[in-house]
Chains A and B, each alone.
Chain A
Amino acid sequence: MEKTREELLQIDFKPPAKSWMDPHIDFEARRGSWSYPGAPKNLRYMGYPNPREWSPTDADWKLPANWKQIIFEGMRELLSKYRSFKVFMDICVRCGACADKCHFYLGSGDPKNMPVLRAELLRSVYRKDFTTAGKILGSLAGGRELTLEVVKEWFYYFYQCTECRRCSVFCPYGIDTAEITMMARELLNLVGVNINWAVEPIANCHRTGNHLGIQPHTFKDNIEFLMDELEEVTGVRVEPSINRKGAEILFVVPSADYFADPGIYTFMGYLLLFHQLGLDYTLSAYASEGGNFGLFTSADTIKKLNYKIYHEAKRLGVKWIIGGECGHMWRVLHQYMDTMNGPADFLEVPKSPFTGTVFANAASTKTVHICEFTADLIRHGKLKLDPSRNDHWRVTFHDSCNPARALGLFEEPRYIIKNVCNAFFEMPENTIREQTFCCAGGAGLGNDENMEARLRGGYPRANAVQYVRDRFGVNLMSCICAIDRATLTTMVEYWAPEVKISGVHELVANALVVDGEKERTTDLRGQPLAGKEDKAHV
């Protein structure tokens, strides 16, 4: 990233002179705000159309000769499959309530990042070819010809939307830009226009079971390594089982949790908690990913990748499933899994073996969010907690988009944090809960080549972080999303470097008093605890 913070913040909200109907984009000048195209090997592996080498800066994107027909037919099909698509195409009144709700708009000032215009990019083509008024009146009725330039514009702007759904909170008709972006990406995918940061994880996930392409032996090695680290901090050896038949619970996490800092501390946190409880659970090296980049490509891909969760639960003969801290994974587990790959009639309604609580809200999917599970344990006094072991952190909580706006999981993580930390501070109310701002790296956009867009789009979140940092001395932002843990880390390094990112269960494990543990002098990261600086050998 070459631009300074000051340069990035020279945001001009004045719309340009040229009409938005002009689709032209200079991809060369906008480097840093788009993602590299899907590599042909990944498209081939997934059987996606039109695998080839190409770049957005090329004049010729090498689309199939009948690309226009493919897109129109695709559109017709999607309109017949999704009422949401039809209704959202027809009823927008362009009241503008959504305009300044998008983090990408707020960070860039680019008018086509206003949700209303992002939708119009697709809506204008719909009008021109699918409505009577548009067919007759053309541009006067807001219709626009589908041209190659329009396809390029779609690529740019529908891969500059993180499907966070913040705008849909404010829309008087609930028009959901995530839904529109998903439709546009389905259409683009039909002609082979997609991004590698989405299709590579998909291809990996299909083959190995997880986005990162981690194979079974490495899966086990990584976890053992993390258990070594955990033992060093706590003095307790945790021995999780993998692919064990007959366990009561299948535990599914996002793969970043057992792969990369700082997610690994969250992973250590989950497993330390389960160890202390004596929970009868197993991990799976096959269902080794709860995340699902299909959500960012096509509905069929969501189903294909999600298939392994219930398939594995059935094979192992578990009774129910716990899902770790991950954002879009939870949108899929909550809003798509049961419909696509259910019914999970071979599982039982989840019941906590320690509190007896029946998770009636998961009666059909049989899948419980780990924050629901842990909050229930704390409420019933099943955990011995020493929150002072988090006293070196002054904590705020970032509501991840999907758990916020697809589930409404607001209080569970807060309840946990307030029980395991002494210093908790909320960010301003327009930036949390259902109004939370995205990390700007979700939906496949969290790659390095897209860094300028990420930093700009991340500014509304970062700005709220700066506020609590300056006002309350906050130095840790906790969250329940693996993409957040990866992308917010980069984002705060740039905007608010004093602040670190963590998962919620990392904080749980710091505070959790475990049988047979040694005196803790550091947290899971190996940082000295408050008041134990002299005892810790870091």
Chain B
Amino acid sequence: MSFIWSLVIFSGLVALVLLGVEGAKLEGLFGIWLPYAAVGIFVGGLIARVVNWGRSPVPFRIPTTCGQQKSLPFIRHARLDNPATGLGAAARVALEVLTFRSLFRNTKAQLTQDRRLVYGSEKYLWAGALAFHWAFLVILVRHYRFFAEPVPVVIGWIQGLDGFFEVGLPVIYATDVVILAALGYLLGRRLADARLRYFSMAADYFPLFLLLGVAGSGVLLRYVWKTDITRVKELAVGLASFRPVLPEGLGAMFYVHLFLVCALLAYFPFSKLTHMAGVFLSPTRNLANSNRARRHINPWNPPIVGHTYAEWEEEFRDKIKAAGIPLDRE
């Protein structure tokens, strides 16, 4: 059901932009105003979200320790999985963000015929997720060439590297293949695995559709319904310099691509996609396990006093005395 709903909404968005551009001739809205609005919502929304998280304190230091603590000198300390310093914790988060280290641990539990539990390595999710995120990043960086004149040398290098295999004309980017394959896998596994299907929600399918739509329309623009990239660049440079111009003849597919990007940006701060920022703020990962070495301060530490010794002695005085345990007040 949630899959269908997401698909319906996604299709609605595509229909909307096609009608808007082809029917109502609202190129100005879809080419200039919506991109500005989407970027505004994205930046403002994400900042608001992070500020909101930041407004709540971290009362306790609760790292999940995944390796040996730093204790005695003769015991080897797991610096990354159980960092003892802020620097170690930063390295842990960096590895989490750049290599999805926790996901790399993933296993698959199975109950055998004779009812034993066995655990196998399960790296597909890690590989698929990592492939998608890195490909997406490279593609984003590549797109910088549309906004900059002259195009920075680095971007050229990345582009060259991405087209390293020199297959097809125009050269097929490796990342284009990878992102479509990875997104296809991420969507496919949600549908194929009964367990995942059971708890997947519209909010899980919808961003996948958006991303597939963005990547798919981008690929079509480059390889099939080619668009005039000098005009695209004219639009992009205009938007970036806040002197927007609207070139003619960008084509419906280009508007579909741009609108889906806008939808993704605007949807981002209100969705699970905020994990991009949240991963940095997760207290089980970004804190050092130095709890006993350095005191962690809780700003709202309530002034609670337990049952005091004096109260305890008062209540059990006779029994304490009879047992020959020393008393504070005879």
Contacts and interface: CB of A to CB of B under 8 A. Distances in A.
Interface of A: 6, 9, 11, 13-15, 20, 79-88, 90-97, 99-101, 106, 111, 114, 116-117, 120, 131-133, 140-142, 165, 168-176, 179, 206-209, 215-217, 219-221, 242-245, 285-286, 299-300, 303-308, 311-312, 315, 334-336, 338-340, 342-343, 357, 359-365, 367, 372, 375-376, 379, 404-412, 415, 428, 430-431, 434-435, 459-460, 463, 466-467
B272 A91 contact: yes
Interface residues of B, number: 100
Interface string B81-105: 1101000000000001000101101
A96 B325 contact: no
Interface stretch (B59-67, B175-183, B253-261): B59-67
B55 A80 contact: yes
Interface stretch (B163-171, B216-224, B287-295): B287-295
Q: Report which residue of B96, B295, B328 has the largest number of chain A beta carbons within 10 angstroms of its beta carbon.
A: B295
Given A286-B312, A315-B309, A81 B300 contact: yes
A220 B53 contact: no
- Per CB-CB distance, the 8 closest pairs between chain A and chain B, nearest first, are A307-B306, A91-B278, A408-B65, A408-B69, A174-B284, A15-B198, A430-B119, A174-B285
B187 interface: no
B309 A142 contact: no
Given A174-B102, A209-B312, A335-B60, A409 B69 contact: yes
Interface in B289-321: 289, 291-298, 300-302, 304-309, 312-313, 315-316, 319-320
Given A411-B76, A412-B75, A100 B108 contact: yes
A307 to B, nearest CB: 3
Given A114-B195, A307-B306, A428 B58 contact: no
B283 interface: yes
A84 B272 contact: no
Contact of B59 (A82, A173, A359, A360): A82
Contacts of A219: 323
Given A216-B319, A285-B320, A407 B115 contact: no
Contact of B293 (A82, A83, A312, A361): A361
Interface stretch (B15-23, B136-144, B199-207, B241-249): B199-207
Q: Is the interface of A mostly helix, strand, loop or mixed?
A: helix
A506 B270 CA distance: 55
B42 to A, nearest CB: 15
A207 to B, nearest CB: 7
Given A304-B306, A430-B119, A460-B117, A379 B72 contact: yes
17 contacts: A86-B53, A91-B282, A97-B102, A114-B195, A140-B2, A165-B64, A179-B62, A208-B316, A209-B312, A220-B323, A243-B326, A308-B306, A311-B309, A359-B71, A365-B295, A375-B72, A406-B64
